[in-house]
Structure 1
Amino acid sequence: MMTNLFSIFDPTTSMMNSSLNWMSSIMALMILPNTYWMLNNRYKMMWSMPMKMMNNEFKILLSIKNNKGTTLMFISLFMLIMINNLMGLFPYVFTSTSHLIMTLSMALPLWLAFMLFGWLKNSEKMFTHLVPMGTPNVLMPFMVCIETISNIIRPGTLSVRLAANMIAGHLILTLLGNTTMSVSMNILPMMITIQMLLLMLETAVAIIQGYVFAVLSTLYASEVN
Structure 2
Amino acid sequence: MMTNFFSIFDPPTKIFNLSLNWIKTFMGLKFIPYSFWFLPNRYITMWNFISSKLHKEFKILMGTNKFYGSTFIFISLFFFIMFNNFLGLFPYIFTSTSHLNLSLTLSLTLWLSFMIYGWINNTQHMFIHMIPQGTPTILMPFMVLIETISNIIRPGTLAVRLTANMIAGHLLLTLLGNSGMTMPSYLIIILIFAQILLLILEFAVAIIQSYVITILSTLYSSEVN
Do Structure 1 and Structure 2 share a fold, with TM-score over 0.5? yes
Indicate conservation of the 8 Å contact 2:35/2:44, yes or no: no
Which residue is 1:174 aligned to?
174
Q: Residue 161 of structure 1: CA displacement?
A: 0.7
Which residue is 1:68 aligned to?
68
**Per-residue displacement from partner, 1:117-145 (whole Å, max 9, x unpaired)?**
11111111111111111212221111100
Tell me how far apart the structure 1 counterparts of residues 29 and 41 of structure 2 sit (CA, whole Å).
Answer: 18
Q: Residue 167 of structure 1: CA displacement?
A: 0.7
Tell me how far apart the structure 2 counterparts of residues 149 and 174 of structure 1 sit (CA, whole Å).
Answer: 37
TM-score (norm 2): 0.92
The 5-angstrom pairing of residues 67-106 of structure 1 reads 68-106=68-106
Q: Residue 15 of structure 1: CA displacement?
A: 6.9
Indicate conservation of the 8 Å contact 2:62/2:221, yes or no: yes
Indicate conservation of the 8 Å contact 1:28/1:83, yes or no: yes
Deviating 4+ runs (over 3 angstroms)? 2-8, 15-19, 64-67
Q: Please, which runs of 5 or more residues in structure 1 have no aligned partner?
A: none
Deviates more, 1:128-137 or 1:154-163: 128-137
Tell me how far apart the structure 1 counterparts of residues 180 and 204 of structure 2 sit (CA, whole Å).
Answer: 23
Which residue is 2:54 aligned to?
54
Which residue is 1:14 aligned to?
13
Q: Residue 34 of structure 1: CA displacement?
A: 2.7
Which residue is 2:150 aligned to?
150
Indicate conservation of the 8 Å contact 1:9/1:94, yes or no: yes
Q: Please, which runs of 5 or more residues in structure 2 have no aligned partner?
A: none
Amino acid at match of 1:188: I
Tell me how far apart the structure 1 counterparts of residues 6 and 192 of structure 2 sit (CA, whole Å).
Answer: 20
TM-score (norm 1): 0.92
Tell me how far apart the structure 2 counterparts of residues 117 and 86 of structure 1 sit (CA, whole Å).
Answer: 33
Tell me how far apart the structure 2 counterparts of residues 118 and 129 of structure 1 sit (CA, whole Å).
Answer: 11
Report the RMSD for the aligned CA atoms in angstroms: 2.3
Amino acid at match of 1:14: T
Q: Residue 38 of structure 1: CA displacement?
A: 5.2
Which residue is 2:190 aligned to?
190
Tell me how far apart the structure 1 counterparts of residues 204 and 153 of structure 2 sit (CA, whole Å).
Answer: 26
Tell me how far apart the structure 2 counterparts of residues 65 and 162 of structure 1 sit (CA, whole Å).
Answer: 28
Structure with greater helix percent: 2
The 5-angstrom pairing of residues 19-30 of structure 1 reads 19-30=19-30
Tell me how far apart the structure 1 counterparts of residues 207 and 150 of structure 2 sit (CA, whole Å).
Answer: 26
Cα separation, partners in 2 of 1:147 and 1:37, compared to 1, 3 Å: same
**Per-residue displacement from partner, 1:31-53 (whole Å, max 9, x unpaired)?**
23234335321111121110000
**Taking every aligned residue pair, what percent have the same amino acid on both sides?**
58
Amino acid at match of 2:13: S
Amino acid at match of 2:118: G
Deviates more, 1:82-91 or 1:178-187: 178-187
Cα separation, partners in 2 of 1:101 and 1:38, compared to 1, 3 Å: closer
Tell me how far apart the structure 2 counterparts of residues 190 and 42 of structure 1 sit (CA, whole Å).
Answer: 36
Cα separation, partners in 2 of 1:43 and 1:37, compared to 1, 3 Å: farther
- SS of 1:187 mapped into structure 2: helix
